[in-house]
Homo-oligomer: A and B are copies of this chain.
Amino acid sequence: MCRWLAYTGSPIKPEELLVKRDRSLIDQSLHARQGATTTNGDGFGLGWYEEGEGPRVYRSTHPAWNDRNLRELAAGISSPLFFAHIRASTGTAIQETNTHPFRYGRWLWMHNGLIREFPRVKRDLVLAIDDSLFPSIEGTTDSETMFYLALTFGLESEPVAAVERMVGFVEKTGREHGVDLPIQMTVATTDGRTVWAFRYSSQGDSRSLFYSTRVDTLRKLHPDMTFLEGVSDETRLIVSEPLGDLPGAWNEVPESSYGVVQPGADELYPFAPAPA
């Protein structure tokens, strides 16, 4: 089981969230607490945007806690929107091209979960990917296949509808192969402006997903946290597992829901698969 974090708001150095805190993402990679897998040592990825540019992606197959270059990079850049992901492989090879976040054009995608019995259904899923997208696939994971299916179904123009269709198609294909509960996922995707985060599983018992309380509320709860002074009220974090132990800081995304984080009011809606 993987761990991930999506940040959007005032530009910060990623090290603030990846390295510095107790229960930072790197600390979690050594000691996952709410996850199904003991250790997340199968690779790390950081995808980030800068002013009008990006995304850039740094990906490594070394455990995050060993990766000096990651610490240098996380201190050397500043970004208003970044994704970070630590991987625990569910079977596919440990290689950079299987490491999240995945990138296509302006888009990033990362995933925690799995397509069940992926080797059995992979061929049918891959065949449904659009001809023009096919040559861009670089790795061999279920997560990247989900991304390219979502792109095939219109992610760039209607992101929510495209993810609904992707999930519908994965569930239909799985059931055709006799798989009872074909998908388990928390997914984040972004075009560099808006972040969409989805929590869904065929069994209605999805892996955890949390979003942070508004910064103005947090500041009132924790006036001692100087880190919060420098960031805008709209700064938001979405994480697979809470970082740190701030009372009042984390709200669970409900089962079968998705959130939209954007300039202006954020939104939370129910999520259901749709026919492809």
Interface residues of A (CB under 8 A from B): 30-31, 38-39, 41-42, 48, 50, 54, 56-63, 65-66, 68-69, 72-73, 75-77, 89, 93-97, 119-120, 122-123, 126-127, 131, 134-135, 137-140
A214 and B46 CA atoms in complex are apart in Å by: 38
Contacting pair A131 B123 (CB below 8 A): yes
Pick from B59, B75, B93: contact of A97, CB under 8 Å: B93
A94 and B95 CA atoms in complex are apart in Å by: 9
Contacting pair A72 B58 (CB below 8 A): yes
Tell me the minimal C-beta distance from A258 to chain B in angstroms: 29
Q: Which residue of B lies closest to A39 (CB)?
A: B39
14 other A-B residue contacts (CB within 8 Å) besides A48-B76, A56-B72, A120-B135? A42-B63, A57-B72, A58-B73, A61-B62, A61-B66, A62-B62, A63-B63, A93-B95, A97-B140, A123-B134, A123-B135, A126-B126, A137-B140, A138-B140
The number of times this chain is found in the oligomer is 4
Q: Which residue of B lies closest to A71 (CB)?
A: B56
Pick from B30, B50, B94, B96: contact of A93, CB under 8 Å: B96
A253 and B255 CA atoms in complex are apart in Å by: 53
A263 and B127 CA atoms in complex are apart in Å by: 43
